[in-house]
């Protein structure tokens, strides 16, 4: 159903806090990008923040991206911004060796951000295709605004009606008929290993190297000043492994295994 496509939208979750300054969008038409944003439920279609504030690391929060005026940021900038936010949160968690459960949730957020972006772009294609029908199109243009701006401005009323009609009767376009969640597994995969899988591979490589040296990971001999410890031997044996290119990757992987109890010294 179409309602499922709208990002499982809950109006209450998108409300701008009452103490914040807001502006009301009194326009009756929108651009193609604006049409997609409206159908995604951003700003409730009528409210927006008059200014955009960036975080300390130079990013724009998801709330800000969704509630900025349609003219402030393009659809692409918003989708890329939300995807970047999700990736940065994942990378930050990896750097501080966050628990696996947290990493799993953050990885799912990255996948969802990609799925939402893909579906938003498909929706944009569907709207553009409808506009291309000319006089046969169910979408009406705001003649005055379109002439003034030189761009196609779609009336809100016709856009909402077109969207509702597809929602009620189905559509040949996947962009307006298939829920976002159903496409999460179809998100294009990166040619590189996902961070979560890479971490597991690093941990497996260390445990295998410990075994190859004839030690038991959960019962390693205590470190001695007179000879190289097990960690030093394993680290040296894996120094040319593509899994440990980053300088700190081995130590962090070893630390995770210690935290999990997979690596421990004899009492």
How long is the chain? 267
Domain match, 168 and 103 both: yes
Q: Residue 217 falls within a domain, yes or no?
A: yes
Q: Residue 64 falls within a domain, yes or no?
A: yes
* d(C-alpha 41, C-alpha 38), whole Å: 5
* Domain that residue 240 falls in: 195-260
Domain match, 95 and 182 both: yes
Domain match, 82 and 113 both: yes
What is the pLDDT at residue 168? 56
The alpha carbon of 151 is separated from its chain's Cα centroid by a whole number of angstroms, namely: 30
| CB-based contacts of 77, cutoff 8 Å, min separation 6 | none
* d(C-alpha 155, C-alpha 19), whole Å: 31
Domain match, 179 and 226 both: no
Answer yes or no: is pLDDT of 15 > 80: no
Q: Where are the alpha helices (DSSP H) in the chain?
A: 2-5, 32-40, 62-67, 75-95, 100-131, 143-149, 156-169, 195-212, 230-237, 249-260
Identify the residue with better confidence: 83 or 40.
83
Confidence of residue 210 (pLDDT cuts 50, 70, 90): very high
CB-based contact 143:155 (threshold 8 Å): no
What is the pLDDT at residue 44? 58
The model's pTM: 0.59
Report pLDDT digits (tens) over 149-185. Answer: 999 999 999 999 998 887 654 443 444 443 333 333 4
Q: Residue 265 falls within a domain, yes or no?
A: no
């Amino acid at each position: 159903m179409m309602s499922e496509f709208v990002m499982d939208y809950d109006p209450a979750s998108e409300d701008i806090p009452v103490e914040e300054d807001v502006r009301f969008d009194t326009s009756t038409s929108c651009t193609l990008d604006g049409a997609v944003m409206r159908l995604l439920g951003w700003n409730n279609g009528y409210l927006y923040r008059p200014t955009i504030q960036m975080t300390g690391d130079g990013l724009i929060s998801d709330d800000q991206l969704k509630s900025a005026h349609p003219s402030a940021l393009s659809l692409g900038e918003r989708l890329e911004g939300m995807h970047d936010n999700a990736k940065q949160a994942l990378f930050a968690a990896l750097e501080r060796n966050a628990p696996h459960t947290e990493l799993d949730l953050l990885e799912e957020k990255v996948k969802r951000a990609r799925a939402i972006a893909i579906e938003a772009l498909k929706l944009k294609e569907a709207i553009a295709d409808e506009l291309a029908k000319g006089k046969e199109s169910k979408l009406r243009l705001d003649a005055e605004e379109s002439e003034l701006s030189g761009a196609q401005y779609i009336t809100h009323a016709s856009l909402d009606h077109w969207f509702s009609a597809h929602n009620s009767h189905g559509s040949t376009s996947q962009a307006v008929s298939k829920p976002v969640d159903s496409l999460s597994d179809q998100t294009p995969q990166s040619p590189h290993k996902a961070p979560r899988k890479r971490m597991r591979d690093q941990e497996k490589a260390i445990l295998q190297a410990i075994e190859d040296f004839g030690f038991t990971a959960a019962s390693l001999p205590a470190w001695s000043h007179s000879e190289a410890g097990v960690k030093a031997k394993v680290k040296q044996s894996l120094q040319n492994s593509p899994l440990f290119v980053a300088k700190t990757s081995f130590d962090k992987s070893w630390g995770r295994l210690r935290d999990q109890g997979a690596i421990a010294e004899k009492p």
